[in-house]
């Protein structure tokens, strides 16, 4: 087992590793230079949304893809993050940078509190429990006067751009860079996680809990670790999103659609590896933003119809996600079964 | 707070509970049979309510008389769901199974929203109207009738599953589909039958509720959530457990709303779920 583990660690991330490395580094460089070309603010928005959803999908992937626990209410931590920064800023004037850390901390605590009793459950029960808990939180925030109840929190708009208050009203470029940095950091962290001992243990827990526990892997401990990591990855995105749109209410940030979107992206791209969520985001977010432009406001839920259809088609035809077109490992695993 | 009000809440809760029980029985049957949670259950309820509504609105059929048609249509819908979607994901990972029915629920709900807009619709002047006064307690006739019909359908379902040969074949498939296949029970057909019966239950509940409930595209969400709770409370795949669980949920919902705060009704029911799965994961009548 240990031999296999160390062998697996020496394996290249990708076949012909160098090409991918060049490709990745040039992409990163291009992403950093992009705002210099003075592009339309819609495209900046599109990229911001791609970065944000990619981090969210990556976070969901840690708990669902790596440790195999399906959370249907992951939008909960998004909402917690959003409320944490906005509440601290509107009430006490504390800078959102501290708010982000606070949001992560609160999300982590909540994840532990949910995780300890819930992660012993069988898959379906856990999935339903997370759904119910997420709805409960949205109900409570809708009635909680301290955080503005149903009307939500309105972050006071400052006259000038400020890095301390994390508010930029003249341009989207600073937001672009903030989201980009968070995106790259999270991607790097997930990559490290997927190659680390922790990542392998999580996948062992997912694939065969009994075998894993016979190898002295404490199954529920690792499930909770994965859940907490995932929650703490999700929360900053809520915080940044709140700073980006500057007004939050329970219907927006605790929307069940956030959970659906995250799930859809990851399943579309492919769960259990770090490239799947990225691929899913790059495909789905442009579709989502363009349908919103061309079909939005008609009252029909055309984008949702599309999501439902895509989700069902993927489940039937490509259960390993679109990444299985590229990734040899995934295909091999499928054929062996 | 008088005794009458509490009694009134108990009666209301009981009547609602019987409807929850039948909806949950449909979910439990499918869950017990093939281990798949139908996350589109609420949307199927919405579809059957809409079927009942359109039969009234276009053909002038009262919801009381259109029940057989609704049941038939929903059963066909169930069989189609099985053959077009569920059949392909039976052996898939749990994630895929959850996502498939979750996708189905999003799809049905948004198609309904596109076709029929999110407006609220009611059946005007149904045959069953008015109320019965028992001392100080008022019982709405349509509510009473709906809960009695649901109870009747429940008894019928229980009889079918435990006493008839086909029902026993269903149970055998639920216990061990391979062993059942060796004995000549075609599991694929049994699954299709399970879906037909499960959605048939929902059709009865839906068309009965059409007598006094407004239909809109999101109507099913809360009912489906309650059905999840009822299935967990009643026990995995236990049909009779659903009856007790449904009644308990109905009582908790109405008494909690009366005694504590009506805006947190959902929370009390969710709390039951969390308590059950933590302290008694096999449910009340489960064969875990």
pLDDT, position A69? 84
Handedness of CA A304, A305, A306, A307 (dihedral sign): positive
Q: What pLDDT is stored for residue B286 in this prediction? A: 66
Per residue in A112-135, pLDDT tens? Answer: 988 888 777 777 888 888 888 888
- Pick the closest to residue A124 from B111, B34, B65 (CA basis): B34
Joined together, the tokens standing for residue A333 give 């695993």
Measured between beta carbons, the chain B residues lying within 8 angstroms of A301 are: 109-110, 113-114
Partners of residue B93 in chain A, C-beta under 8 Å: 319
Asked if residue A302 is part of any domain, the answer here is no
pLDDT value of residue A334: 47
Instruction: Report yes or no: A140 at the B interface, CB cutoff 8 Å.
Output: yes
On chain A, the residues whose CB falls within 8 A of the CB of B267 are 136, 139-140
CB contact under 8 A, B277 and A121: yes
Residue in B101, B102, B104, B224 to test binding to A, most A beta-carbons within 10 Å: B102
- What is the nearest CA distance from A336 to chain B, expressed in angstroms? 14
- Whether residue A169 lies inside any domain: the answer is yes
Confidence of residue A7 (pLDDT cuts 50, 70, 90): low
pLDDT at A326 over 50: yes
Residue A165 falls inside a structural domain: yes
- The Cα–Cα gap between B35 and B174 comes to 9
In a domain, A142, yes or no: yes
The answer to whether A130 touches A71, Cβ cutoff 8 Å, is: yes
In the predicted model, what is the mean pLDDT of residues A224-239? 90
User: Of the segments A95-109, A287-301, B267-281, which one has the largest average pLDDT value?
Assistant: A95-109
User: Does A128 contact B232 at a Cβ distance shorter than 8 Å?
Assistant: yes
- C-alpha B130/C-alpha B144 separation (Å) is 11
- pLDDT bin (cut points 50, 70, 90) of residue B46 is very high
Q: Is the pLDDT of residue A329 over 80?
A: no
pLDDT in tens, B219-272: 888 888 899 888 888 887 788 888 888 999 999 988 888 888 777 888 888 888
pLDDT greater than 70 at residue A227? yes
Instruction: For residue A260, list chain B residues with Cβ-Cβ distance below 8 A.
Output: 102, 106
A-chain CB neighbours of B88 within 8 Å are: 315-316
Q: Which distant-in-sequence residues (6+ apart) come within 8 Å of A38 by Cβ?
A: none
A44–B contact, CB cutoff 8 A: no
In this structure, what token pair is assigned to residue A61?
A: 């992937």
pLDDT over 70 (residue A220): yes
Domain that includes residue A173, residue range: 40-254
* Measured distance between the N- and C-terminal CA atoms of chain A, rounded to whole angstroms: 20
Rounded mean pLDDT, B11-32: 90
Nearest residue to B254 via CA among B149, B150, B147 = B147
Identify the pLDDT of residue A270.
Answer: 84
With vertex at residue B37, the alpha carbon angle to CA B143 and CA A281, rounded to the nearest 5 degrees, is 120
More confident residue, B285 or B86: B86
What is the structure's pLDDT at B146?
A: 87
What pLDDT shows up at residue A10? 53
Average pLDDT rounded to a whole number, residues B79-96: 88
- The answer to whether residues B266 and B25 touch, using CB atoms and an 8 Å cutoff, is no
Q: How many Å apart are CA B227 and CA B40, to the nearest integer?
A: 11
Tokens of B28: 């439990």
Q: Do A319 and B89 touch (CB under 8 A)?
A: yes
B110/A121 CB distance under 8 A: no
- Within-domain flag for A66: yes
Q: What is the structure's pLDDT at A107? A: 92
Q: What pLDDT does residue A300 have?
A: 60
pLDDT value at residue A3: 58
A247 touches chain B (CB under 8 A): no
With an 8 Å Cβ cutoff, is B87 touching chain A?
Answer: no
**Residue A268: inside a domain, yes or no?**
no
Average pLDDT value for residue range B124-145 = 80
8 A C-beta contact, residue B204 and residue B71: yes
Q: Which residue of A has its CA nearest to B31?
A: A124
Residue-level pLDDT at A328 = 58
Nearest to A277 by CA among A41, A37, A62, A18: A62
- Sequence-distant (6+) residues with CB within 8 A of A48 are A172, A175, A176, A179, A244
Tell me, yes or no, whether A35 lies in a domain. no
For every residue of B249-284, DSSP letters joined together read: HHHHHHHHHHHT-GGGHHHHHHHHHHHHHHH-TT-S
Rounded to an integer, the average pLDDT of B67-88 is 91
pTM of the model: 0.86
- Distant-in-sequence, close-in-space partners of B230: CB < 8 Å, separation ≥ 6: B20, B21, B23, B24, B27, B28, B242, B245, B246, B249
- A302 in contact with B, Cβ within 8 Å: yes
Per the structure, the count of domains in chain A is 1
Residue A332, pLDDT score: 46
SS (H, E, C) B45-93: HHHHHHHHHHHHHHHCCCCCCCHHHHHHHHHHHHHHHHHHHHHHHCCCC
- Tell me: pLDDT of A41 over 60: yes
CB atoms closer than 10 angstroms to residue B194: 26
Cβ distance B96 to A319 less than 8 Å, yes or no, reads yes
| pLDDT of res. B287 | 57
Q: Is the pLDDT of residue A12 over 70?
A: no
Q: Which of A146-150, B53-57, B173-177, B251-255 has the lowest mean pLDDT?
A: A146-150
Q: Do B107 and A312 touch (CB under 8 A)?
A: yes
The answer to whether B143 touches B10, Cβ cutoff 8 Å, is: no
Whether A138 maps to a domain, the answer reads yes
CB atoms within 10 A of CB A21: 13
Q: Taking all residues of chain A, what is their mean pLDDT, rounded to a whole number?
A: 81
The reply to whether residue B267 touches residue A312, judged by beta carbons under 8 angstroms, is no
The pLDDT of residue A70 is 86
Residue A103 Cα to chain centre, angstroms: 15
Report helix angle B41-59 to B3-34, nearest 10: 110
* A-interface mutation test, from B110, B225, B279, most A Cβ less than 10 A away: B110
Nearest chain B CA: its distance from A129 CA (Å): 7
* Contact at CB, A124 and B99, closer than 8 angstroms: no
Q: How confident is the model at residue A108 (pLDDT cuts 50, 70, 90)?
A: very high
Beta strands B137-140 and A153-154: pairing type? Answer: unpaired
> Looking at the predicted structure, is the pLDDT value of residue A43 above 60?
yes
| Model confidence at A175: pLDDT above 70 | yes
pLDDT tens for residues B183-219?
888 888 889 999 999 999 999 999 888 888 888 888 8
Residue A14 has pLDDT above 60, yes or no: no
Q: Do B274 and A129 touch (CB under 8 A)?
A: yes
């Amino acid at each position: 087992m240990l031999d296999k583990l160390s062998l697996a660690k020496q394996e290249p991330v990708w076949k012909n590793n160098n090409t991918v490395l060049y490709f990745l580094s040039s992409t990163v460089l291009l992403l950093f230079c992009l705002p210099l070309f003075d592009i339309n603010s819609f495209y900046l928005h599109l990229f911001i949304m791609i970065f944000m959803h990619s981090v969210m999908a990556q976070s969901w992937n840690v708990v669902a893809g790596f440790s195999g626990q399906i959370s249907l209410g992951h939008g909960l931590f998004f909402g917690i993050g959003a409320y944490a920064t906005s509440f601290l800023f509107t009430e006490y004037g504390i800078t959102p940078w501290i708010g982000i850390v606070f949001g992560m901390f609160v999300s982590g605590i909540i994840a532990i509190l949910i995780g300890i009793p819930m992660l012993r459950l069988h898959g379906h029960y856990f999935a339903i429990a997370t759904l119910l808990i997420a709805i409960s939180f949205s109900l409570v925030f809708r009635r909680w006067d301290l955080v503005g109840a149903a009307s939500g929190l309105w972050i006071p708009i400052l006259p000038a751009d400020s890095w301390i208050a994390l508010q930029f009203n003249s341009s989207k470029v600073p937001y672009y860079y903030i989201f980009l940095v968070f995106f790259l950091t999270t991607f790097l962290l997930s990559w490290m996680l997927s190659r680390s001992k922790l990542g392998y243990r999580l996948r062992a827990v997912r694939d065969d809990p009994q075998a894993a526990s016979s190898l002295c892997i404490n199954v529920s401990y690792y499930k909770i670790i994965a859940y907490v990591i995932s929650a703490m990855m999700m929360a900053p995105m809520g915080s940044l999103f709140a700073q980006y749109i500057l007004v939050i209410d329970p219907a927006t940030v605790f929307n069940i659609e956030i959970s659906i979107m995250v799930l859809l992206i990851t399943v579309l791209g492919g769960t259990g590896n770090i490239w799947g969520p990225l691929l899913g985001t790059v495909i789905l977010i442009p579709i989502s933003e363009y349908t919103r432009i061309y079909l939005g406001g008609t009252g029909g839920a055309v984008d949702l119809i599309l999501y439902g259809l895509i989700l069902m088609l993927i489940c039937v035809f490509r259960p390993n996600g679109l990444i299985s077109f590229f990734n040899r490992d995934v295909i091999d695993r499928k054929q062996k079964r | 707070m008088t005794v009458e009000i509490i009694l009134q809440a108990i009666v209301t809760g009981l009547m609602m509970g019987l409807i929850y029980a039948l909806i949950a029985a449909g979910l439990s049957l499918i869950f017990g049979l093939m281990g798949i949670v139908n996350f589109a259950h609420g949307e199927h309820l919405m579809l059957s309510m809409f079927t009942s509504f359109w039969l009234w609105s276009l053909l002038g059929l009262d919801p009381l008389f259109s029940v057989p048609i609704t049941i038939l249509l929903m059963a066909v819908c169930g069989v189609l769901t099985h053959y077009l979607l569920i059949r392909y994901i039976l052996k898939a990972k749990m994630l895929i199974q959850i996502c498939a029915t979750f996708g189905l629920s999003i799809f049905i709900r948004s198609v309904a929203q596109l076709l029929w807009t999110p407006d609220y619709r009611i059946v005007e002047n149904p045959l069953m109207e008015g109320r019965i006064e028992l001392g100080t307690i008022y019982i709405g006739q349509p509510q009473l009738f709906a809960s009695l019909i649901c109870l009747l359908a429940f008894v019928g379902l229980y009889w079918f599953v435990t006493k008839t040969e086909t029902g026993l074949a269903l149970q055998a498939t639920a216990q061990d589909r391979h062993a059942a296949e060796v004995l000549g029970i075609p599991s694929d057909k049994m699954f299709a039958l399970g879906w037909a019966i499960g959605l048939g239950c929902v059709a009865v509940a839906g068309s009965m509720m059409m007598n006094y409930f407004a239909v809109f595209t999101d109507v099913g969400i809360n009912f489906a959530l309650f059905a999840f709770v009822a299935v967990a409370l009643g026990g995995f795949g236990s049909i009779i457990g659903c009856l007790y669980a449904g009644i308990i949920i109905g009582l908790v919902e109405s008494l909690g709303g009366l005694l504590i705060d009506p805006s947190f009704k959902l929370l009390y029911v969710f709390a039951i779920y969390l308590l059950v799965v933590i302290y008694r994961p096999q449910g009340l009548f489960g064969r875990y």
